[in-house]
Amino acid sequence: MKIVLPYNTHLGGYDTYRVVGGIEKFCHQINDTFDDVCLLYVDNNDSIKYNTTKIKNYAKSINADIIISNWPQASFSGAKMLDSEVPIMFINHTHSRIGSILSLMNNIMSKNHSCYMVSKWQHDQYKIMAKRMNHPHDVTIDGYINSSYVRGEKPKLSNIKYDCGTIGRCDPIEKKPFILKEWLDSTTFKTIVITITPNKERELKYYSVNLPNY
C-alpha cells in the first residue's frame, strides 16, 4: 500500500532524532511501520489552495492508495481536499472546542472518505459538544486508532524529586501546561513544568502571567 503522509512543518521539519509533538510522533510511527510511505512537507503558512492542490496532485502523480491526514486545518483535511481522487483517512488527535471541526468530520464522511479518533472518550466528548451546540448531524466516525506511544526499555525509577509534572507547549488554548501547577498550588505537592520558549503573542502573554507563580 502506497501512503501519502502530509507532514505539517509549522514546528519544524521531519527529524528522526527530535520529535516536537504527539501528532508528529504518530507520523514517525506510520513511517517506521509501513514500507511505502511518501512524506510530503506542507507549510500551513502557505495558502490553503496551494497546499490542497499540492497534496492532491502529488498523491495522484505517484498513484497512491491513500492520504493519511493527521491535522484538522483546512490545508490538510478541509473542504478543498475532499474532491481528492485518492481516498483520505483523517485521524482526529485533538479535543477541539471549535464547532467547525464537527462540520469538518461530517463533510469527510459524507464525501466517502474516512474519519477516525484515538479513543471512545474523545468521541463521547464530541458527541456532548454536538448536542450542546445543536449540531444537525451525528458525530459519525469509522473507528478508533491508538494514539502514539514511546518505545524502548522502561528506565528504572530514581529518587523522586517532583510529585507530578507537565510537559507541553506554552499554549494557553491547546496545551495549558501550567494548569496542573495552578490546581496544586495550595497543596504540598512539588510540581514542575517543562515547556518551550514562547514566541507567539498568546504564548508570551500566557507565560508572563504564570511565571510569577511558578
CA-nearest of 110, 109, 103 to 129 is 103
**Strands 66-69 vs 3-8: parallel, antiparallel or unpaired:** parallel
Domain boundaries of the chain, sorted by first residue: 3-144, 164-213
Q: pLDDT tens digits, residue range 153-168?
A: 777 877 888 888 888 8
Helix (H, G, I), strand (E, B) or coil at 193: strand
pLDDT, tens digit (0-9, with 9 covering 90-100), for 165-176: 888 888 888 788
Model pLDDT for residues 88-145, shown as the tens digit of each residue: 999 999 888 888 999 999 999 999 999 999 999 999 999 999 999 998 888 999 999 9
- Whether the CB-CB separation of 67 and 6 falls below 8 Å is answered with yes
The beta-carbon contacts of 83-87 under 8 Å, at least 24 apart in sequence, are 83/56, 83/111, 84/55, 84/56, 84/59, 84/113, 85/56, 85/59, 85/60, 86/4, 86/56, 86/59, 86/60, 87/112, 87/113, 87/114
Selected from 3.30.450, 2.30.30, 3.60.21, 3.40.50, the CATH number assigned to the domain covering 3-144 reads 3.40.50
DSSP lists the bridge partners of residue 116 as 91, 143
Question: What pLDDT band is residue 214 in, cutting at 50, 70 and 90?
Answer: low
Q: Return the percentage of the chain with pLDDT > 70, whole number.
A: 98
